[in-house]
Chains A and B, each alone.
Chain A
Amino acid sequence: MKYARILLNNETVAVTVNDDNSVNLEDGSVLQEHEITWLPPSEGKIFALGINYANHASELNFKAPTEPLVFLKAMNTLIGHQQKTMRPDNVDYMHYEAELVVIIGKTAKNVKRENAFDYIAGYTVANDYAIRDYLENYYRPNLRVKSRDTCTPIGPYMVDAKSVGDPSNLSLKAYVNGELKQSGNTKDLIFDVPFLIEYLSNIMTLSPGDMILTGTPEGLADVKPGDEVVIEVEKVGRLTNHIISETEYNNNYRSEVNNVK
């Protein structure tokens, strides 16, 4: 089963999703994809992993870490499927990152690796954009790089854990304007899904809805306004996003605010 949240008449509505991306409302009615606005499929804490694929670590000239490099993002950064991400003017390098996302299903504290799957509600897809110009060597990767408004597309929906089965052998792909740019497999994760749940829940309490973005493999490239970026995770979904310029973003934001008023 696939679960999503959409914006309908300015309200967040929970729906289930069909194979053609049409959605079923609670009252039984069906809306086609072109009629809806996708929201992020979950709400909660957002963890993300840095350099969690061996090949990506070497691409960045980093030694593979001996402990997970975890950072947090705030909800402001999430946007849904088919939404727009702003590239600031005057930056040199903004890249996508294809990632498998784990969504927590029940309160988790001090969970052991062997029980970790009991705490997973399902999986989704994220594109964990980074703007490398803003990297500084303080709490790196810093929030200005990683928790920016519009810079974490996620979705389109959550697929329940049972339908996905084993998350440790799923292919991930990123396409820019239809061209395959990044390709990897979750079997190459340095710290796998059950490890991450044990590790994080040992530090703090995880709650239903919390998301873990598990990291990205090698194959990064710069993206520019006008680009269409698609992330695919096998058995989980296909997430589409478009890059816009800062000027277009500012104009859009103003018109959105005016519409609400």
Chain B
Amino acid sequence: MKQNRNVFGVALNHRTLRATMEEHFHIKPHVKPPTTPVLFIKPDNTQISHGDSIPAPHSNETIFAGPALGIVIKKTAHRVTAEQANQYIDGYAIVNEVSLAEESFYRPAIKAKCRDGFCPISTTINAEQVSKPESLNIHTYINGELKHSTNTDQLYYSINELVEFISSFITLEKGDVIITATPPRDETLALNVGDSVVIEIEQLGRLENSVVAEQEL
């Protein structure tokens, strides 16, 4: 399970999710909208592969799929500009950024996002094989049924802007992943024990995982 790479997520980077937050941005505790990408970390214990099981907490809190495009870094990226960003991108991965309900964006969401197995990541598809990474359909199937569709055209900060911003203070290393954006966690993305969840991204493929009660693992 132990992975030697950093996985950074970007919260509030999906336009639909941002729209639902518009009112909240201006009141406490936020007071004003974010001025930079809102980052979080998916640590080693969360990272699993295609076919691995996602453990559901025994507290029975609802868990939600997080269909997303991941950027995979090609080489050490330190203070890279958006214009140079392409040279630092090895390719793209399908990511399921699993989370408990996103009840608050005020404090770091360790409990909601950092549970074991909460970040399935596919193998990397080389950047040359992905023609338009910012207009790819993303479909989520639960038990074979299409439940949710979105598109990478919903990014608020673009792929290149994210690489520029993060590398301005975090030196990214080969293999590091940036999860570009996740949609609002509505009921269509809710997962139950026994479910099989597939995230399918156009040109990239499918990432499939099943949900298992954590006490059974």
Whether A149 is near chain B, meaning CB under 8 Å from some CB there, is: yes
Q: Is the CB of A72 within 8 A of B44?
A: no
A207 to chain B: which residues have CB within 8 Å? 2, 44-45
- Complex: how many Å from CA A164 to CA B108? 31
Given contacts A72-B108, A137-B29, A138-B105, contact A144 B39 (CB under 8 A): yes
Q: Which residues of B contact A72 (CB under 8 A)?
A: 40-41, 43, 108, 110, 114
CB closest chain-A residue, reference B108: A71
Is the pair B39, A143 in contact by a Cβ cutoff of 8 Å?
Answer: yes
Residue from A73, A141, A205, A207 whose CB has the most chain B CB atoms within 10 Å: A205
Measured CB to CB, the residues of B under 8 A from A are 1-2, 6, 8, 11-12, 29-32, 34-36, 38-41, 43-46, 78-79, 105-111, 114-116, 169-173
A44–B175 CA distance with the chains assembled, in angstroms: 16
Q: Does the CB pair A142–B107 fall under 8 Å?
A: no
7 A-B pairs with C-beta separation under 8 A: A72-B40, A73-B41, A136-B36, A137-B32, A139-B107, A144-B36, A205-B45
Q: Given A45, A140, A149, which contacts B169 in the complex, CB threshold below 8 Å?
A: A149
Tell whether A253 is near chain B: CB-to-CB under 8 Å: yes
* B11, A138: Cβ atoms closer than 8 Å: yes
Q: How far is the CA of A206 from the CA of B78 in the complex (A)?
A: 29
What's the dominant secondary structure at chain B's contact region? loop
Interface residues of A (CB under 8 A from B): 44-45, 69-77, 109, 134, 136-144, 147-149, 203-207, 250, 253
- Which A residues touch B171, using CB under 8 A? 76, 149
Task: Pick the residue among A69, A73, A203, A253 that contacts B78 (CB under 8 A).
Answer: A253
Contact count A vs B, C-beta below 8 Å: 100
Per the bound structure, the CA–CA distance linking A140 and B169 in Å amounts to 17
A203 touches B43 (CB 8 A): no
| Interface residue from B6, B31, B106, B111 paired with A76 (Cβ < 8 Å) | B6
Is the beta-carbon distance between A142 and B169 smaller than 8 angstroms? no
Q: What 9 pairs between A and B have smallest CB-CB spacing?
A: A71-B108, A72-B41, A138-B38, A143-B39, A148-B169, A205-B45, A45-B43, A137-B30, A74-B6
Known A137-B29, A149-B171: A69·B107 in contact at CB below 8 Å: yes
Question: With A and B bound together, what is the CA distance between A233 and B29 in angstroms?
Answer: 35
Residue on A with the closest CB to B1? A205
The CA of A204 and the CA of B78, in the complex, are separated in Å by 31
Distance to closest chain B CB from A88 (angstroms):
8
Q: Which residue of A lies closest to B78 (CB)?
A: A253
Q: CA of A137 to CA of B35 in the docked complex: distance in angstroms?
A: 10
Name the residue of chain B whose CB is nearest to the CB of A202. Answer: B111
Closest partner residue, chain A, to B104 (CB atom): A139
Query: A70, A71, A74, A205: which contacts B170 (Cβ < 8 A)?
Result: A74
B106 to chain A, nearest CB (A): 6
Nearest CB in chain A: distance from B192 CB, A: 21
